[in-house]
Structure 1
């Protein structure tokens, strides 16, 4: 299963239903370049995410960190953490993605002691999964078994999936990370989500730096520092990038007009929209529209 039309709500929370079987999990193969955006845009979800790279290399951004992940390696991404992924050097990156509801990882009796502390910890937004380390290899192997179980659908496969999830979580705990809980980190995470939330609600309107800073209860300079540290961009550049993302869906409508789309997503100049779209997507909005309508790859 390839999720191409990646949808998030105004809070950047992913809207995709992470349930491909009767259990509250999803395990599917993703080719980054086949996504509607050409990359996996910034988002978050309540599910834990485990990733295993099958082919190529990619760059994941998780909160403030950028991590290069190569073929055969993987990642654990904690619940509620902002993340995105891009193909590195057009490698044709393909990966297995396993998303699982935290409440399903272990039984209710064990959840409080062994799962909840990891969700609350501020020093574990992600963990690298290196197959050379036994605990990580166990996770990567169990991911492939779950993917195979869902594909083949053998008798009692739901029970086998549950068993593999228990192995995965035990292996993760065996990594031995000392959990930390810093109030300042919790506040920072809350404020960046407040600012992103405000942008996603008002992107079609005129937006000033002061507006974004006010949403996060920060000064303009501190707002810029938050975006530079956490998102590797400026607040207003983020607004522009988000508007471009929103335009991609509109441009795929058969009756879409480039000028109308530009104003719908918050640009007050068609030429400026075209210029920014070209620099982001490597083609003009009109070429993108034709490319999507024809359903074929264009060489620009």
Structure 2
């Protein structure tokens, strides 16, 4: 199964329910280019995410870091971390995505000692999973097994999945990554989410830089530094790009027209909307609409 347009709330938290019928987890294969945006937009969720690239290569951004993951490699993304994914070099990238609720990884008695310290660590937004390292290979192999178990559902497959999850978590422990806890980093993460939350609530309105900075309890200059460091763009450029992202769903509605959509998502000029849309999507809004409704 592929989620082509997962739902994100106003503070970028993904609302897709990551679970099978019986288990608080989900595993699915994702073709990046098939997402409604052509990429997986910036979001976060409480679940841990484990990724295995099965075709091509992907460019991931986790918080303010970017890295390329090749076919056969993988990634662990920690709970609560902002992340997005693009198809690197148009390789037709496909990856297995395993999302797991933290309390389900190990038994309740072991959670405080073995899971919570990783969630709280400020220096562990992600780990690269390399098949050349034994602990990494063990995790990647377990992702494949869990994907097969969910697809084929043999007898007692739920119990087999819990065995594989314990194996995954044990191998994360074995890699020996030192954990750090910095209050400053926690505050930065919270402020960034507050600013994004405000934008996603008010994107259809007139937005000033002062508004965004105020939402994060920052000065204008500090606000700009946050966005440049984490998102590599200015706050107002992010607003414009987010408005384009929101317009894609509206343009797919048969009764919509370009002018109405432009104003619905916060642009006060149809021509400006068309210009920005063309730069982001490499086509006009009308061309996009005709293509999606053909």
Give yes or no for TM over 0.5: yes
Q: 1:114-263 counterparts in 2 under 5 A?
A: 114-263=114-263
Distance (Å, rounded) in 2 between the aligned partners of 1:243 and 1:28? 28
Distance (Å, rounded) in 2 between the aligned partners of 1:270 and 1:7? 26
Match of 1:298 in 2: none
The two structures have a TM-score, normalised by structure 2, of: 0.99
C-alpha displacement at 1:104, in angstroms?
0.1
Structure 1: runs of 5+ lacking an equivalent: 295-300
Distance (Å, rounded) in 2 between the aligned partners of 1:275 and 1:7? 26
Distance (Å, rounded) in 2 between the aligned partners of 1:201 and 1:223? 18
Contact 1:6 1:40 in 2 (8 A): no
C-alpha displacement at 1:233, in angstroms?
0.9
Q: What is the DSSP-based 3-state SS (H/G/I as helix, E as strand, rest coil) of the residue aligned with 1:61?
A: strand
Q: What is the DSSP-based 3-state SS (H/G/I as helix, E as strand, rest coil) of the residue aligned with 1:9?
A: coil
Match of 2:110 in 1: 110
C-alpha displacement at 1:21, in angstroms?
3.7
Distance (Å, rounded) in 1 between the aligned partners of 2:292 and 2:38? 12
Distance (Å, rounded) in 1 between the aligned partners of 2:143 and 2:193? 30
Distance (Å, rounded) in 1 between the aligned partners of 2:197 and 2:257? 28
| 2:15 is equivalent to residue 15 of structure 1 | yes
Structure 2: runs of 5+ lacking an equivalent: none
Q: What is the DSSP-based 3-state SS (H/G/I as helix, E as strand, rest coil) of the residue aligned with 2:90?
A: coil
Distance (Å, rounded) in 2 between the aligned partners of 1:279 and 1:22? 44
Distance (Å, rounded) in 1 between the aligned partners of 2:141 and 2:131? 9
RMSD after superposition: 0.5
| 2:287 is equivalent to residue 287 of structure 1 | yes
CA offsets 1:234-274 (integer angstroms, 9 cap, x no match)? 10000001000000000010101100000000000000000
Contact 1:131 1:137 in 2 (8 A): yes
Match of 1:66 in 2: 66
Match of 2:33 in 1: 33
C-alpha displacement at 1:181, in angstroms?
0.1
Distance (Å, rounded) in 2 between the aligned partners of 1:283 and 1:26? 34
Distance (Å, rounded) in 2 between the aligned partners of 1:115 and 1:200? 31
C-alpha displacement at 1:19, in angstroms?
1.1
Distance (Å, rounded) in 2 between the aligned partners of 1:215 and 1:282? 32
Match of 1:82 in 2: 82
Distance (Å, rounded) in 1 between the aligned partners of 2:34 and 2:242? 19
Distance (Å, rounded) in 1 between the aligned partners of 2:21 and 2:55? 25
Match of 2:55 in 1: 55
Contact 1:123 1:180 in 2 (8 A): yes
Flag as ranges the 4+ runs of structure 1 deviating above 3 A: none
Q: What is the DSSP-based 3-state SS (H/G/I as helix, E as strand, rest coil) of the residue aligned with 1:89?
A: helix
Match of 1:297 in 2: none
Contact 1:21 1:150 in 2 (8 A): no
Q: What is the DSSP-based 3-state SS (H/G/I as helix, E as strand, rest coil) of the residue aligned with 1:7?
A: coil
Distance (Å, rounded) in 2 between the aligned partners of 1:21 and 1:284? 41
Distance (Å, rounded) in 2 between the aligned partners of 1:17 and 1:161? 18
Distance (Å, rounded) in 2 between the aligned partners of 1:17 and 1:64? 26
Q: What is the DSSP-based 3-state SS (H/G/I as helix, E as strand, rest coil) of the residue aligned with 1:150?
A: helix
